[in-house]
């Protein structure tokens, strides 16, 4: 499963309104609810599990990238939402730089290998400078999705 398989144009927010990492997480989870990828009744429980994971250690990995993620038994497939902050958000990142690109994903509980592989694939793709630049300059969600789809490689 690639990043292009996890996302759709509807799960991409090209201009996050959030100004904190917690608001970013809320905004991306709201996006997943609106896109029908998670049930509205599970919103608070899913937010809590992502926040718990983020409190244990920031998922700001440097280079302007944040990858908040968690496992939950409230979903059956890997789901994710991607957001771009035009101003940058303090994510308590490893390099202390603001985060502009955020990929939030959720993996069904008990699928540890899938969780690790998904995280590794996203991190590997996001570390490519040309890819990040293409996402930062894309005009809208469909363009961002095309960039992601074109750069996601099936294993």
| Catalytic (active site) residue 69 | yes
Segments forming the whole domain that contains residue 72: 3-151
Count structural domains, the chain: 1
Question: Does pLDDT of 154 surpass 50?
Answer: no
pTM, whole model, 2 decimals?
Answer: 0.93
Res. 58 pLDDT band, cuts 50 70 90: confident
Rg (C-alpha) for the chain, rounded Å, is: 14
Identify which of 145, 138, 115 has the alpha carbon closest to the alpha carbon of residue 7: 145
pLDDT tens by residue, 114-152? 888 888 888 899 999 999 999 999 999 999 999 999 998
Q: What is the pLDDT of residue 119?
A: 86
Least confident of 16-30, 34-48, 53-67: 53-67
The CATH number of the domain holding residue 62 is 3.40.930.10
* Among 42, 69, 115, 117, the one annotated catalytic: 69
pLDDT tens by residue, 73-124? 999 999 999 999 999 999 999 899 999 999 999 999 998 888 888 888 888 9
């Amino acid at each position: 499963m690639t990043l292009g398989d996890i996302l759709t144009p509807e799960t991409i927010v090209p201009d996050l309104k959030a100004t904190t990492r917690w608001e970013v997480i809320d905004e991306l989870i709201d996006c997943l609810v609106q896109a029908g990828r998670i049930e509205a009744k599970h919103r608070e429980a899913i937010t809590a599990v992502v926040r718990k994971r983020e409190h244990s250690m920031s998922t700001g990995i440097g280079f302007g990238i944040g990858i908040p993620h968690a496992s939950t038994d409230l979903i059956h497939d890997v789901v994710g939402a991607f957001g771009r902050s035009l101003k940058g958000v303090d994510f308590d990142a490893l390099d202390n730089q603001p985060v502009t690109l955020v990929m939030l994903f959720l993996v069904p509980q008990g699928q540890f290998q899938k969780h690790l592989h998904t995280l590794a694939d996203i991190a590997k793709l996001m570390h490519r400078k040309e890819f990040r630049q293409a996402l930062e300059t894309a005009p809208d969600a469909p363009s961002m999705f095309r960039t992601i789809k074109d750069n996601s490689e099936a294993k």
